[in-house]
Amino acid sequence: MVFIGVRAAPMVALTAFSVGVTLAMQAAHSLRELGAEMYIPDLVMVTLLREMGPVLIAVIVIGRSGSAVAAELGTMKVSEEIEALEVMAINPVQYLVVPRFLAMLVMLPALTIFGNYIGVFGGWAVCTFALDFNTAGYVLRALQSADTWDLYSGMIKSVVFAWIVITIACNAGLHVDGGAEGVGQATTASVVQALLAMLVTNAVLTGIFFFAA
């Protein structure tokens, strides 16, 4: 849990901050032409909560923790550790997979919330230092624009992504064969599969939450 969550925090913070800054700058450019600069906070907030937050944090966690889990379990498989557990009458799924599953299910949404805050902070930095917003105005607009459903939809996505990422990673790790080469292939496969599955699921969920309804 420490590995998946706490140690990923600095990376999540940096990513979220740059995304917040970028969103605000892009929004400023486009919205200025329409004379609608006041909507910058809305755009930053809603985009982060609904899409960028869950997706980008999931990308980081896939690259960092998903690959690590796949490689770790894969190495355990090739060095007979999994078989040793089985022979000691310890169920490897219970002993190895369940704790990782729970850690991911808790930590990915937690990181997403954390990332959302930092992203909004990034937007604030641009608005305050480069544009004519004051802090109170920014916060007020941002909070007015988003409703709780924006937050919840992002969280639901995040939980679903966590489930996808950890299932794919554990599955890839436990089915490794063929030594070090197999571990490498399984790790790569887990990252690629998890990314694709996560992005497709994101599109489907966005469709369900905001398009079909």
User: Where do contacts with another protein occur on this chain (CB under 8 A)?
Assistant: 72, 75-76, 79-81, 83-91
For another protein, which is the closer residue by CB, 62 or 76?
Answer: 76
Q: How far apart are CA 90 and CA 124, in angstroms?
A: 52
Q: How far apart are CA 207 and CA 77, in angstroms?
A: 39
- Provide the minimum distance between the beta carbon of 86 and another protein in the complex, in angstroms, as a whole number: 6
For another protein, which is the closer residue by CB, 72 or 150?
Answer: 72
User: How far does CA 85 lie from the centroid of its chain?
Assistant: 32
Q: What is the dihedral of CA 172, 173, 178, 180, to 10 degrees?
A: 120
Q: Is 204 exposed, middle or buried (0-12, 13-18, 19+ CB in 10 A)?
A: exposed
> Is the backbone of residue 179 left (phi > 0), alpha (psi -120 to 50) or beta?
left
Q: How far apart are CA 142 and CA 47, in angstroms?
A: 11
For another protein, which is the closer residue by CB, 85 or 131?
Answer: 85
For another protein, which is the closer residue by CB, 1 or 90?
Answer: 90
Q: Is 52 exposed, middle or buried (0-12, 13-18, 19+ CB in 10 A)?
A: buried
Q: How far apart are CA 155 and CA 108, in angstroms?
A: 9
For another protein, which is the closer residue by CB, 80 or 177?
Answer: 80
User: How far does CA 99 lie from the centroid of its chain?
Assistant: 19
Residues in the chain: 213
For another protein, which is the closer residue by CB, 50 or 77?
Answer: 77
